[in-house]
Structure 1
Amino acid sequence: MTKTRRYVYVTFLMTLILFMTFTSYGYFNLTPFIRVTLIQIPVIIGSLWFGWRTGALLGFAFGMSSLIYNTINPVVTSFVFSPFYPVIGTDQGSPLALIIAFVPRILVGIVPWFVYQGLKKIERLPKIPRIAISALMGSLTNTLLVLGLIYVLFGTAYAQARSVAVESLAGILLTTISVNGVVEAICSSVIVTALFTRIKVNHQD
């Protein structure tokens, strides 16, 4: 693949991330209680297609889009993603929000590639399961790290924003992981596998 062609594909994936962030196409309601995020899909595809460095770049774009979105369209919990939105109970934002906005998303672009490379060492494991597992792990990386960091860095303020007791926050986040997170990971795995398999068929460079 030429550098120009690679640049075009990566630019397209980055544009897709921004498009999905600022439209309803990045999220959909599977049920009245389960909302699935799909923005990590272009990041995972970029990681598997071009390697972890490109994946990290796309993950950075994912994080930046999240930062911008939560800054210009704030909701009561936006302080966990944007340092420009005041933390509940204070009159200023926290730079710790940048950790949540960027670190999990950058790792979404790194983890799938390393998981895929590791699975290649299992000789009897076919290509499609390798892709599916790698995508699954990439999606779970986002969910686990975002919610885990929210609990560690902003637990009390986040509980206040959600109008729940601090003591019950861990249980609420674990439920979110076990329901939304798992469904999201499965959806990501299925979509990435279908799309990436098609891409590799059409672009054998």
Structure 2
Amino acid sequence: MNKSRRKTKFLVLLTMFCSIQVVLMLTPLGYIPIGPVRATTMHIPVILAGILLGVKGGAITGLVFGISSVITNTIMPTITSFVFTPFYSLGDYHGNLMSLVIAIGPRVLLGVLAAFIYKWFKNKELKVRLIGSGLTALVCTMIHSILVLGMIYLFFGPSYAQAKGVEASALFGLLLTIITTNSILEAVLATVIITPLTKVLEPITKKVI
């Protein structure tokens, strides 16, 4: 495949992944409310793009995820949306520039990390590649969750604790609970979906990167 056709195929596939992100954002499938927090499925296309399209594809799809998070938390806010958007405030709770860092930074890194981890498995036999794709999905989802919640703790700890109705001293335990419940469910879901999709889609994207 010549360079021009490879680039065109890459752009078509990248557009597909970004379009999936937009569809998820505009439907209840992307951000699923669970009490005052939202579980998400939008990490799945990001990880898959990183696996199939490499660093650039993963990073761009992750950027779309991050921007969608800012938009969703601005136009459909929950009480803790200020940690993801500087354009939302409620009483004493205010977003700021660090809200953008939390919303976008870990999501871009998610796609980049997926590309780098899966690179170790990419040229192996099919069975190893499938195990690698599942492991990539699991590890990347957990790292993404830890980064997001860790940055919330670091930059918005007292405000986030107050918004959640807990003492600041109890915030670490609360975030740990989220990691061991929502985050593990998101990781398992990503693993179950990404492993078979990698098997189906990898032959199509094999010569793109």
- TM-score, structure 1 length as denominator? 0.88
Please state whether the residue corresponding to 1:110 is helix, strand or coil: helix
Q: 1:19 aligns with which of 11, 23, 28?
A: 23
CA contact (8 A) 2:52 2:205 kept: no
SS of 2:97's partner is: coil
What is the CA distance between 1:27 and its match in structure 2?
4.2
Deviates more, 1:112-121 or 1:48-57: 112-121
1:113 Cα deviation from its structure 2 partner: 1.3
Using the TM superposition, give the Cα deviation of residue 5 of structure 1 relative to its aligned residue in structure 2, in angstroms.
2.3
1:56 to partner: Cα distance: 0.7
Provide the residue aligned with 2:79 in structure 1. 76
Indicate whether 1:4 and 2:3 are aligned: no
Aligned position for 1:155: 157
Q: Match of 2:111?
A: 109
Larger CA deviation: 47-56 vs 125-134: 125-134
**Structure 1 residue 86: Cα displacement:** 2.1
Displacement of 1:121 after TM fit?
Answer: 8.8
Equivalent of 1:62 in 62, 65, 79: 65
Q: How do 1:125-204 and structure 2 match up within 5 A?
A: 126-202=128-204
Unmatched runs of 5 consecutive residues or more in structure 2? none
**In the alignment, is the contact (CA less than 8 A) between 1:87 and 1:157 conserved in 2?**
no
After TM superposition, the score normalised by the length of structure 2 is 0.87
Q: Which amino acid aligns with 2:117?
A: V
**Letter of the structure 2 residue corresponding to residue 49 of structure 1:** L
Provide the C-alpha distance between the structure 2 equivalents of 1:58 and 1:163, rounded to a whole number of angstroms: 34
Q: Larger RCO: Structure 1 or Structure 2 (Cα < 8 Å, ≥ 6 residues apart)? A: 2
C-alpha change, 1:59 and 1:204, in structure 2 (3 Å) is closer
- The 2-side partners of 1:88 and 1:141 are apart by 32
Structure 2 CA distance, aligned partners of 1:201 and 1:5? 13
* Offset, 1:186: 1.3
Distance between the aligned counterparts of 1:172 and 1:93, measured in 2?
21
Query: 1:88, 1:157 within 8 Å by CA — same for their partners in 2?
Result: no
Identity of aligned residues (%): 37
Number of residues of Structure 1 aligned to a counterpart in Structure 2: 202
In structure 1, the gaps of 5 or more residues are: none
SS of 1:96's equivalent in the other structure is: helix
Q: Which residue matches 1:96?
A: 98
Residue identity opposite 1:113 in structure 2: A
Matched with 1:41 is: 44
Q: CA separation of 1:119/1:68 partners in 2, compared to 1, >3 Å: closer, same or farther? A: same
SS at match of 1:70: helix
